[in-house]
Structure 1
């Protein structure tokens, strides 16, 4: 029998790993405890709204090379939508004023010399402060490096860092933000054009991957919760599903692509992140979006940070949302009062809504917690880790999850080389 790889978890990391391994012709089996794939990145039909919605809003950038490569491999590279140029609209809820950042084509950022293209109240010199991220120490936070008390931090860096890190910039790792800036903003306008799923997250990132795996003969088993990993010496020898055990042969391998907390329950001796941050999304069914309003608007000075408009749905995202508590009606009402300014419908009755709060959306991306991220390879010679919480070199984003899956697939292909 050919060597098998058991991928435990069918979130973005697990799917990415399975796609990568199957492309090499390896025999792969995926085990997922939930009745669906995608983890936190999926779509579903909401009965109250009568619409199919994403469980959370996820933004990609044109410089997210691993994710774009993944989409191409599963035949879904035409499922994203976005502008031909990188333009970012913002609205200050306190000052009731909006503006749009309009970078120029090419790598040389001459756009910062034009007041009409940059953040109001900023000078060209303010933008060079971002270079300090490259030399940020392992214990420095984003605020320590970038917050100079000026409008650029409040109106751009704070919402940008909060969205990327899902951790308050006062405690988020500056060193971890730098790779994102380097790979997107630092590569010129073509690398940070916003991209949003044309229909939904599942239709772009999940369903095409499942279809691709089926054509390659990969079984994806749902409702298969792993209770324990049997280990003998330096190997995993069996996967305990409760009702049955799967023997792991001498040449077989296991990829554990589950959340950090689940990984810790299966491998108590492993050091993993232990603190988390929530993300809150509120979806409204609202058909009267003003003509010309961008599909994405950054919000400053309120509870919500980003507004997304797609067909007759508008959604908002609140990152690092642990403190946003209360009945769903109260949360939605507070946010509707903010975004109705942007939508030009202030004072109107709040439309049907759905509040979705993911309490453990990402690990807390502080310097201390970042140091707890384990590598893909483990001390068990046939066990590899994957997940946006592992040491990918990126924050816990879709790009980080996909990249971790690719790293895990590469690690599996080199297991015979030793740890």
Structure 2
């Protein structure tokens, strides 16, 4: 199967190269920012937009200078290192123009014309307006210059070639600025612009094929995050993370505070709330909530128990829960409102795949610290305290108790995720 995939990509690369001239975009003629924007206003707006896009989260290495890049991003095709966005003239954006930056966001091309890898989500950022791109660039130019050379990516052949990138773009990418839906209210359109564009929610919440592309990203149908093995749940499924029946104020609270009576942000979503959405305006948070609540809903078959555990494993799982979990989450998984989440009826522990429940037991669960929840309660990791088999039994107990009705997990499931714990 892998050979077939590589062969198909090479054939597509040859075909794409043959039509390169026809596909090459015309020079950009989009208007720049309105001339009336004062420089200070432009920079402040750019900083806000960078928060909306959570730019520094990826472009800052652990312990590194903000925006100087160097963070390793693991993909199924190898490792990509994020670039330096500071104003350094040698290794950053110091010699870039606003047009160069627009071309990177809108068309996925570097200053030298080379095609960029879609780990930089230009498939979403292509929808950003020119005015917002100019504001972002104006703010990035104020980042203190840090001379930090950009690390070379370590990708396998043929994924490390421009021909392969051209083939991928031919199949899966078409530049295009966001177009408002005239049949929808302004608030819905603003939410769509943020979710589809700067927020790049589909980068996590959409399934991907063998070549890392999503054919219907705006459906936000959920997917396993490559290289991390967290599952970003479907935002359109009532059995996963749909908010269609939530009060709008609670959707806003989850994005702003990271916690509501219905859910707690954890894992990668906690990072998004911590670094991005908690800083958005009430108007933008409400717009996102309106859009997310209006997503067309899917109706998948509920995850019923498909596996069978013997009596000894069921008893062992129940005992482990009583010993390790019940003090916080309650004897019947009822939790404690505002402190520890309930597990009974909790969609996060019954989803397929069960990656998030297992990873939380292994690595702990931590809500983001926000202005609305400045001292969140956390859950300690059990990776060192419990064996793979113990974790499988206790997670199976949680997934199958108090009416949850989800299938059990195996020690092999736990072992696979333990090896990818990060």
**Higher normalized strand content (fraction of residues):** 1
Range class of TM-score, shorter chain: under 0.3
TM-score by length of 1: 0.24
Larger relative helix fraction: 2
Which structure has more relative contact order (CA 8 Å, sep 6+)? It is 1
- TM-score between both structures, scaled by the size of structure 2: 0.24
